[in-house]
């Protein structure tokens, strides 16, 4: 993979803070898949796939599939007869997901959620794992989701809770604030953990043409790693936090990772670590249209 091959969701979807929030480049995708996925995403992929399966869909669209953690779970949990179309804005991300593979065939397709390349009423369920936070115009994105859902279909997605309810991210965020007191890297608080308010989400869905939110469920879980170094690397080097750190000096990435490691060790111990993570699952039904 070339040093700057990836422009994931954040590149195009995030209109503010574009220089730093577009930082899924270089080795970040590999580190993301190696560290962030098992640390924070696999548990919620299982939860979301189970919820999708309850609706017994015939055709499922996944948006913002990234490296495919939810896609792989959907392929396992849904019957082979169920069609799964997994999309992401960036083709190299889909190539990476396809290279990892799924237990059965999945259609991988490049797509921008702001203008989905599918006909009206084409899917029974649209699913999205931790992607909606990045959309610049959420109501417009939701209107596209509603357009491609059949009447009576379901939109199922999850979002992270506040950063103080996600202990590793919060610890790293505070450590970086101490290291860079005048201009701390705040990507984690600003973007992944910045869209959790139930009323705001309901308003955006309504503006996108959805009816009431059918479900808004808080799902706590545990994030475990063999050492404090793993979540430090995951967050400092496997997310756009890296771009924010390197914008303050390329040589400071190692220092920031060390500071984050030390902060996690102080809070959770120097051996295996176990921290709380928490997300919300949102479900909204498509009315007749």
How many angstroms separate the CA atoms of 135 and 9, rounded?
8
Domain 9-161+190-222+279-285 class in CATH? alpha beta
Look at residues 57, 118, 58, 56 and name the one whose alpha carbon lies nearest to residue 87. 118
Contact 43, 69 (CB under 8 A): no
Q: Does the pLDDT at position 6 exceed 70? A: no
The predicted-structure confidence for 236-282, as pLDDT tens digits, reads as follows 998 889 999 999 998 999 999 999 999 999 999 999 999 999 999 99
Domain ranges, ordered by start, for the chain: 9-161+190-222+279-285
Residue 287 DSSP label: P
Q: Are 21 and 191 in contact (CB under 8 A)?
A: yes
| pLDDT digit string, tens, across residues 104-122 | 999 999 999 999 999 999 9
> Residue 17: what pLDDT?
37
Q: Is 16 exposed, middle or buried (0-12, 13-18, 19+ CB in 10 A)?
A: exposed
Smallest CA-to-CA distance from 225 within 159, 280, 173, 172 is with: 172
Query: Dmax over Cα atoms in the chain, in whole Å?
Result: 56
- Give the pLDDT score at 194: 97
Residues 132, 282: Cα–Cα separation, whole Å: 11
Q: Distance (Å, rounded) from C-alpha 204 to C-alpha 143?
A: 10
Q: Are 243 and 31 in contact (CB under 8 A)?
A: no
pLDDT at 20 over 80: no
Q: Residue 23 has which token pair? A: 């930082």
Rounded to 5°, angle at Cα 197 from 276 and 56: 80
* Cα 94 to Cα 26: distance, rounded to the nearest angstrom: 16
Tokens of 161: 């809770």
């Amino acid at each position: 993979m070339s040093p700057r091959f990836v422009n994931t969701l954040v590149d195009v979807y995030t209109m503010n803070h574009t220089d730093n929030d577009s930082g899924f480049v270089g080795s970040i995708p590999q580190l993301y898949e190696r560290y962030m996925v098992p640390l924070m995403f696999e548990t919620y992929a299982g939860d979301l796939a189970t919820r999708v399966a309850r609706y017994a869909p015939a055709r499922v669209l996944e948006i913002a599939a990234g490296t495919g953690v939810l896609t792989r779970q959907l392929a396992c949990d849904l019957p082979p007869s169920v069609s799964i179309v997994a999309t992401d804005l960036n083709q190299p991300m889909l190539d990476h997901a396809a290279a990892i593979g799924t237990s059965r065939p999945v259609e991988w397709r490049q797509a921008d959620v702001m203008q989905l390349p599918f006909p009206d009423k084409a899917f029974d369920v649209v699913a999205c794992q931790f992607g909606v936070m990045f959309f610049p115009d959420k109501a417009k994105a939701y209107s596209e989701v509603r357009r491609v859902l059949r009447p009576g279909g379901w939109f199922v997605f999850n979002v992270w809770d506040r950063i103080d309810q996600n202990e590793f991210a919060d610890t790293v965020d505070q450590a970086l604030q101490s290291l860079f007191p005048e201009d701390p890297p705040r990507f984690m608080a600003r973007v992944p953990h910045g869209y959790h308010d139930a009323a705001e989400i309901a308003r955006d869905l309504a503006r996108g043409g959805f009816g009431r939110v059918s479900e808004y469920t808080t799902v706590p879980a545990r994030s475990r790693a063999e050492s404090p170094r793993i979540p430090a690397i995951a967050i400092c080097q496997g997310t756009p936090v890296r771009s924010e750190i390197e914008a303050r000096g390329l040589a400071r990435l190692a220092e920031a990772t060390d500071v984050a490691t030390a902060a996690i060790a102080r809070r959770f111990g120097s051996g295996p670590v176990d921290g709380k993570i928490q997300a919300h699952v949102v479900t909204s039904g498509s009315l007749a249209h």
